Amino acid sequence: MHCPFCRHPDSRVVDSREADDGVAIRRRRACPSCGKRFTTVETASLTVVKRSGATEPFSRAKVISGVRKACSGRPVDEDALARLAQQVEETVRASGCAEIAAHDVGLAILAPLRDLDDVAYLRFASVYRGFEHIGDFEAEIAELRTHQALLATAVDAAAVPRYGGAHDPAPPPVHATSAR
């Protein structure tokens, strides 16, 4: 790393820390020639390949912008949008590829958006998947209801009291109080 002050071709790392929710590394460096210190930020590059073949760097802001349109008029705050964008970036980076198709970014948006807001999900899915007929909406709504039913079943199952043991034996005995 060249020193930005004297252009010396070497520098020494003094401190390294995670930044931007672990997506970047902030390094504090010192130049052995002039003694000045400077900061660098390192990130793993992630490039989105658009349908046209053009490439651009992945942008959380662009994800938020697209989802914000679908959430227009819905009770979704900026923090929820930021968390969604972070989830999308983590999903995309987990693929391990330096380049990812824009289509795959859209797919990564659908699942967390479905959990965030049903109406925003339908709006986004209708544009993203190119719904052309009312049947497309009906099929997506049916799938959404199935997903909600599965979630409700999972929540109900988690609420069932468990008493321990491999086969969930009977509850512990109730001790009777003596009457005086």
pLDDT band of 179, cuts 50, 70, 90: low
- The overall average pLDDT reported for the chain is 85
- pLDDT confidence of residue 161: 58
- 105: three-class secondary structure by DSSP: helix
Strands 47-49 and 99-101, by their bridges, are parallel
pTM: 0.63
Q: Which helix (H) or strand (E) holds 19?
A: strand 12-19
Q: What is the pLDDT of residues 96-116, one digit of tens each?
A: 888 999 999 998 999 999 989
* 134 closest CA partner among 146, 124, 122, 145: 122
* pLDDT mean over 132-149: 90
With beta carbons less than 8 A apart as the criterion, state whether 20 and 47 touch: no
- 25: three-class secondary structure by DSSP: strand
